[in-house]
Structure 1
Amino acid sequence: MRILFIGCVIFSKNILELLVESKFNVVGVISKDDTGFNSDYYDTSIIAKQYKIPFIKTKNVNELPILEWVSELKPDIVYCFGWNSLLGIDFIQIPKKGVVGYHPASLPQNRGRHPVIWALILGLTETASTFFFMGEGADDGDIVSQKKIIIEKEDTASTLYDKLIHESRTQVIEFTNQLINNQLIAKKQDHRLANSWRKRSKVDGVIDFRMSNESIYNLVRALTKPYPGALILYKGEEYPVWQAKIAETPYSNFEPGKVLKISESSILVKCGLSTEAILLENHELPETIQVGDYL
């Protein structure tokens, strides 16, 4: 089975390496130069060069020269894992077995943008590693493989990302062999159960100390590295927070945002209602901050 691979993030790197090392027939790779859009960007043409696989770089796979290049490769299947734009119908119709995409969420629920980040921000306790056949819509095609992923309270964007990669490696080997042997049975999505997450904006990553300590904790762990970090706005400047811990304080009559204690690099801040507080354990706030200041 002739596989064309599309992708430009760390997840793409892991799966492409797996396919090549497992001796599957990868006949072409599509990557792109770093545009700054993906914080986990990886140029998969590096792997293509290493294994002497034909490759091309483009921002738009739907352009005529790209369609012609893909057609000449005669792929049986296309794997599109880690690409931030939709494939047009002219592209999708080229491979006879279709195009398999990836979405780290429990489809048909939670279609759309930033599934890892939103799952953590919302405090979900589980998500899924989902491969599906791509169509003209977003994340709405028949499911090829889906495995549940438990989200622990301690999970961050980085650890959840690693869990998804680990589970997906087993899935890819399994359904690739099923495709080769014409044994794959895809499952239709129930569109009545679907919702779609919106694109995250910068303001979604700003900490407001009127939020509960749990909401702040979830925001921080969702936006920690490889993402840009949850932000504190202080005296007109932006300061990222990389790690936080839920805390309590006896001062129920103190206002949200008040600095209660500073210990080495940690800062305890009043937040939410009643006795809630948040301990900022890893951050880039200035050393000039003192107890009694407001963030």
Structure 2
Amino acid sequence: MKLGFVTCVQLGLSCMEAIYDAGGKLQVAITLKDEKAKSKSGRVFLDKFCQSKSIELVKIDHINDDNVIDVIKKYDLDWLFIIGWSQIAKKRLLDTPKLGVLGMHPTLLPKGRGRASIPWAIIKGLDETGVTLFKLDEGVDTGAILSQHKIPLNDSTTSTELYQLVSDAHSNLMKSIIPNILSGNVNLQEQDNAAATVWEGRTPKDGEIDLKDSIVNAERLVRATTKPYPGAFVMREGKKYIIWKAQVVKKYTDGLCLEFKDGFLECLEWEVE
């Protein structure tokens, strides 16, 4: 089974390492040219890893360029992984590998299609989330599912913790599925569109705490938007107070404490922007 991989971030590199840990190998790796997306969160360079494994590394401008199609055909790839990549692959690219293109999404599809998966899982108060390995199609997170890895959540889980759990789940899922992929024992399960939900993208301004809302929602928002995200915040006298950690308390406390109709939120870690 001939495999290729597309990534430019640490999450993808960890999955590449997991493939080798599980006894697989890659024919080729594709990444962005060195001068592109230098400030992208998690941006990494694959040269060292590819050299250590004798993998040809191809650096590109865009995933849909003709030279990418040529590379897939050159190596006669069965599957191409695209993980940690913001450019949308078009149908021509998706149809080029013999068996298709595989990606991962950090929810238990079909729930949570779309964006901002980690913050939304906490904001919505879910008791579990996860990572889904699926076959990419022209829709948004709509392709057939190969496998899923579940992640339990509780009422203290923060986005910092969940970000790491999601990262670990990517690697664990890759390790578990590679033997099946190599043997051709892949069972694709179509998604139940009737059960699908779509989560919208979020911006930093969505982190503003509504003092007229419930304290439960405010506390979740703090946990959901803490690092590596921009943080929940309140405005006071023209100043922006970014809150990284908080807890629900029964009475007003010294320092930065927010009053809601149903309780108080004591801010434990915060800064003024």
TM, length-normalised to structure 1 = 0.83
- The answer for the alignment partner of 1:269 in structure 2 is 258
CA distance, structure 1, for counterparts of residue 231 and residue 199 of structure 2: 20
Check if 1:246 corresponds to 2:256.
no
Paired residues of 2:119 and 2:159 also in contact (CA < 8 A): yes
Q: Where in structure 1 are there 5+ consecutive unaligned residues?
A: 251-259, 287-295
The structure-2 alpha-carbon separation of the partners of 1:94 and 1:207, relative to structure 1 and needing over 3 Å to count, comes to: same
**1:20-99 paired onto structure 2 within 5 Å:** 20-32=20-32, 33-34=36-37, 36=39, 38-99=40-101
- The answer for the alignment partner of 1:2 in structure 2 is 2
CA distance, structure 2, for counterparts of residue 65 and residue 226 of structure 1: 35
Secondary structure at the residue paired with 1:26? coil
The structure-2 alpha-carbon separation of the partners of 1:40 and 1:192, relative to structure 1 and needing over 3 Å to count, comes to: same
Paired residues of 1:29 and 1:45 also in contact (CA < 8 A): no
Residues 259-282 of structure 1, C-alpha deviation per residue, up to 9 Å, x if partnerless?
Answer: x512xxxx2221x214x1111111
TM, length-normalised to structure 2 = 0.89
- Once the two structures are aligned, what percentage of the paired residues are identical? 27
CA distance, structure 1, for counterparts of residue 243 and residue 163 of structure 2: 19
Query: 1:96: how far off?
Result: 0.9
CA distance, structure 1, for counterparts of residue 242 and residue 8 of structure 2: 26
Q: Rg bigger for which structure?
A: 1
Query: 1:283: how far off?
Result: 1.1
Highest relative contact order (Cα 8 Å, sep 6+), 1 or 2? 2
Paired residues of 2:222 and 2:243 also in contact (CA < 8 A): yes
Query: 1:59: how far off?
Result: 4.9
CA distance, structure 2, for counterparts of residue 84 and residue 114 of structure 1: 13
The structure-2 alpha-carbon separation of the partners of 1:231 and 1:77, relative to structure 1 and needing over 3 Å to count, comes to: same
CA distance, structure 1, for counterparts of residue 113 and residue 83 of structure 2: 15
Secondary structure at the residue paired with 1:71? helix
Query: 1:43: how far off?
Result: 3.7
Query: 1:66: how far off?
Result: 2.5
**1:1-295 paired onto structure 2 within 5 Å:** 1-32=1-32, 33-34=36-37, 36=39, 38-249=40-251, 260-262=253-255, 267-270=256-259, 272-274=260-262, 276-285=263-272
Paired residues of 2:111 and 2:196 also in contact (CA < 8 A): yes
CA distance, structure 1, for counterparts of residue 132 and residue 4 of structure 2: 19
CA distance, structure 2, for counterparts of residue 211 and residue 47 of structure 1: 49
Paired residues of 1:230 and 1:240 also in contact (CA < 8 A): yes
- The answer for the alignment partner of 1:255 in structure 2 is none
Aligned-residue Cα RMSD (Å) equals 2.2
Aligned residue pair count: 270
Q: Where in structure 2 are there 5+ consecutive unaligned residues?
A: none
CA distance, structure 2, for counterparts of residue 59 and residue 211 of structure 1: 45
Residues 131-171 of structure 1, C-alpha deviation per residue, up to 9 Å, x if partnerless?
Answer: 11111111111110013221122211121122223333332
